[in-house]
Amino acid sequence: MLVVEGVRVAYGEDVVIDGLDWRPGAGIDGAATAVTALLGPSGCGKSTLLRAIAGLEKPSAGRITFGGRDLADLPTHRRDFGVVFQDGQLFPGRTVAANVGYGLRMRGWSRSAIRDRVAEVLELVSLPDLADRPADELSGGQAQRVALARALAPRPRLLLLDEPLAALDRRLRDRLAADIAHIVRESGTPTILVTHDHTEAAVMADDVSVMRDGAIVQSAAPMMLWRNPVDEWTARFLGCTTVIAAESVGGVAPTSFGEIVTGRADGIVHLGFRPESLRAGAVPDEGVDPARDRSSSVGVVARVAVLPSGPRVYVEPDVVGVGLGTSGADAGAPDVHGVDAIGDEGVAVGDRVAVTAIPERVAVIGP
């Protein structure tokens, strides 16, 4: 529905986006009601692109169409897009109901129609009892729900969310992320979510487009993105802290953390490991010579962080100069810096551990 073609946006001399092509949700079923995340690091141009779609920035080249119609000559308020920013931007002196009904009044809805629709969307965002509360007496999470209700009230054709959770604390973000995703799906509104947080993108979106330096580098469902990031930069941005090269033969690459199914043609492949891709546990059998054991690498725990999901450890090589994660393919450049892994319960600094891959959590990098 939304198509961005060859778009260029500059602030004075500073070109932020140049020749950008994008069809959010193009590769997935049900794109008409899907949530697409626009995910990228700070400053890559996500908000600029969103603002261009909303009509708040004017592209100096290219075009943006919705349902086949060029938006260039359509001002923001006539695009019928709902927008929610990081800080909600509610009118502080007015009640929740007045805020939510604002766009409907502007569109000339009748009083009774406004009252009914306001009640309906406040129900949708689970705040039916707050209609008469002044907007400046809301918590941060409530304010963002009200901002969402206000954006959804006029039944927009497209909803644009620009880091809607960024100003909230972690606990609230996690809960509200799932709630917002549910609410926008209930409302049947196609949605673009700008975020720099890949977990948030995975929780909320059906489809994720990764943006880097003003360009879209990959679009895929979250699962595909984790499994097959398009390049090493994307793999690292998505949380891989160790990247190694290995030789894949018959679709399988032996590594010093065990065999990984790559499904790739014979040749060198690059594999990305998140802490969750590796398990650091007891050395299985001291009788086995670790140098000959191809299913795991032995190292020494250098740091432990105890997270709710279990210990996160950093394991250094126990033989100086022979890195963890070396394989035939990259033996010339051992990763002497060690690896992040999930540790077994009770693991402590100084323990010798065997580091083993959890194969289905390893990313196979490249197109």
Ligand X SMILES: Nc1ncnc2c1ncn2[C@@H]1O[C@H](COP(=O)(O)OP(=O)(O)OP(=O)(O)O)[C@@H](O)[C@H]1O
Does 47 contact ligand X by CB under 6 A?
A: yes
**Shortest Cβ 163–ligand X spacing (Å):** 6
Q: Which phi and psi (to 5°) does residue 97 adopt?
A: -65, -40
Does 40 contact ligand X by CB under 6 A?
A: yes
Closest alpha carbon to 163 in 8, 57, 315, 51? 51
User: For the CA atoms of the chain, what is the radius of gyration?
Assistant: 25
Piece in contact with ligand X (CB under 6 A), picked from 43-51, 114-122, 274-282, 300-308: 43-51
Q: Which residues pair with 191 in a beta bridge?
A: 35, 159
Piece in contact with ligand X (CB under 6 A), picked from 41-49, 233-241, 310-318, 354-362: 41-49
**Contact pattern from residue 246 through residue 285 relative to ligand X, giving x for each residue in contact according to CB under 6 A and a dash for the rest:** ----------------------------------------
191-220: contacts with ligand X (CB under 6 A): 196
**Shortest Cβ 43–ligand X spacing (Å):** 4
Does 44 contact ligand X by CB under 6 A?
A: yes
4, 35, 46, 314: which one binds ligand X (CB under 6 A): 46
| Residues in binding contact with ligand X, number by CB under 6 A | 12
Does 45 contact ligand X by CB under 6 A?
A: yes
**Shortest Cβ 11–ligand X spacing (Å):** 3
Q: Which phi and psi (to 5°) does residue 128 adopt?
A: -65, -25
317-356: contacts with ligand X (CB under 6 A): none
356-to-110, 228, 256 alpha-carbon distances in Å: 65, 20, 8
**Contact pattern from residue 113 through residue 152 relative to ligand X, giving x for each residue in contact according to CB under 6 A and a dash for the rest:** ----------------------------------------
Contacts of 234 (CB under 8 A, 6+ apart): 210, 212, 217, 218, 225, 365
Does 43 contact ligand X by CB under 6 A?
A: yes
48, 191, 255, 297: which one binds ligand X (CB under 6 A): 48
Does 42 contact ligand X by CB under 6 A?
A: yes
**Shortest Cβ 159–ligand X spacing (Å):** 17
2, 4, 7, 16: which one binds ligand X (CB under 6 A): 16
- Give CA 19 to chain center in angstroms: 23
The amino acid sitting at 145 is R
Q: Which stretches of the chain bind ligand X, using CB under 6 A?
A: 11, 14, 16, 40, 42-48, 196
